[in-house]
Amino acid sequence: MRVADQYYRTIWVDEGQLPDVQIIDQRYLPHEFHIETISSYKQMAIAIKEMHLRGAGLIGVAGAFGVYLAYRDAFQANQPMVFVDGAITEILNTRPTAVNLKWAIDKVCPRVASGLTLEEKAHIALDAAKQLADHDAESCRLIGLHGLPLIEEISERKKGGVVNILTHCNAGWLAFTDYGSALSPIYLAHRKGIKLHVWVDETRPRNQGAALTTWELLNEGVPHTLIADNTGGHLMQNQMVDMVITGADRIAANGDTANKIGTYLKALAAHDNGIPFYVAAPTSTIDFALAEGLGKIPIEERSGNEVRYVRGLYNGNIVDMLICPENTPAVNYGFDITPARLISGFITEKGVVNNIKLLMNLNR
Ligand code: MRU
């Protein structure tokens, strides 16, 4: 995507033999645009865990580049294979909910086996990670194409009136290598001249909606309005939302979907008001091995400080501000599960599916 007239992906490598990995450090957005150079698997594990980068698709691709860096570290420091195995386990354990991390590592590791030396293995892992990055971007481009008719249909029904779409968290290009999942059809519809407007949930506690989704939509010129997380129900009751599109971090085989905390409440409100609720995700986010989501998908619990403090710009500096009495007990579940029965359809790179059986067919 373009930022100030330059094309960026969220993660990339420059030319050269076994190069470092570059990422957009999302912790500073929307106030500052930082690129971070990642030079070891350890730094990549920290970047994933501490959310320098985030979003299911991007976490997966970053994990793949992490495997590459583990082999590169081992080659450069003459470490044994046990070092690489430990590094991969460490990367796998950084964030538990998005299944894309395991998916991507499972794709890279078998390919590396054909390398005879650590150097060869590092080269193979690098190629595999680059291919996964391209695959992720292409999947998201296709999600846009498949999701577009859903928006067009509403636009036609409204005789060209503005289509109001509510989204939660950030499932834009920042959450993937490029394009995004939930935002990909929105970008396409906007470029095609369909009149639309996006309600952006702020998405406490880390405010990915307020910080990242608004920044993306502003860059693309898509009309949008930031709302407090609790506003969606009121908007839906007052016919101010035509559809909801969110992303996903893990979809179980029965369609139960883990997404950013608060998604479930939006799905309930949408259901109660007869508003279509779509989940947009690449099939790499479907955990076909997991029969159902509720109680089964691991829900990440993060530091209570993310609830106690809010990050923002104050006098030109990015600061974390305490919003409650110091040491107030706080719990911070990162995700919740939206049961399949509340989901109107899944927008994937292979098409839109509305029922579980069709979802299973995508495994072929
Ligand atoms: O904690 P994050 O920012 O990595 O979580 C990302 C999300 O949960 C988003 O909701 C998104 O929809 C899924 S990632 C494409």
Instruction: Enumerate the β-bridge partners of residue 35.
Output: 24
Whether 183 contacts 283, CB under 8 Å: no
Q: Is 249 a catalytic residue?
A: yes
d(CA 181, CA 203): 17
Class in CATH terms, 148-361: alpha beta
pLDDT attached to residue 285? 96
| Amino acid identity for residue 302 in this structure | R
With both helix axes pointing from N to C terminus, report the angle between 56-77 and 41-49 in degrees, rounded to the nearest 10: 160
Is any ligand 1 atom within 6 A of the Cβ of residue 250?
no
The terminus-to-terminus CA distance of the chain in angstroms comes to 31
Q: Given a cut of 80, is residue 31 above it in pLDDT?
A: yes
Q: Whose CA is closest to 282, among 104, 21, 65, 51?
A: 104
Q: What is the mean pLDDT of residues 153-182?
A: 98
Whole-prediction pTM: 0.96
Pocket test for ligand 1, best of 49, 97, 140, 169 (most atoms within 8 A of CB): 169
| Amino acid identity for residue 274 in this structure | G
Output the CATH code of domain 2-135.
1.20.120.420
3-state secondary structure 88-138: HHHHHCCCCCCCHHHHHHHHHHHHHCCCCCHHHHHHHHHHHHHHHHHHHHH
Q: Given a cut of 90, is residue 361 above it in pLDDT?
A: no
Q: Given a cut of 90, is residue 11 above it in pLDDT?
A: yes
For 256-291, the pLDDT digits (tens) are 999 999 999 999 999 999 999 999 999 999 999 999
Pocket test for ligand 1, best of 136, 203, 260, 338 (most atoms within 8 A of CB): 260
Atom 7, ligand 1: residue with shortest CA distance: 260
Count the neighbouring beta carbons within 10 Å of the beta carbon of residue 53.
23
Write down the domain spans for the chain. 2-135, 148-361
Place of tokens 């609830």: 307
Q: Compute the distance from residue 55 Cα to the ligand 1 centre, in Å.
A: 4
pLDDT attached to residue 227? 98
For ligand 1, what atom is nearest to the CA of residue 175? 15
| Catalytic member of 249, 256, 287, 336 | 249
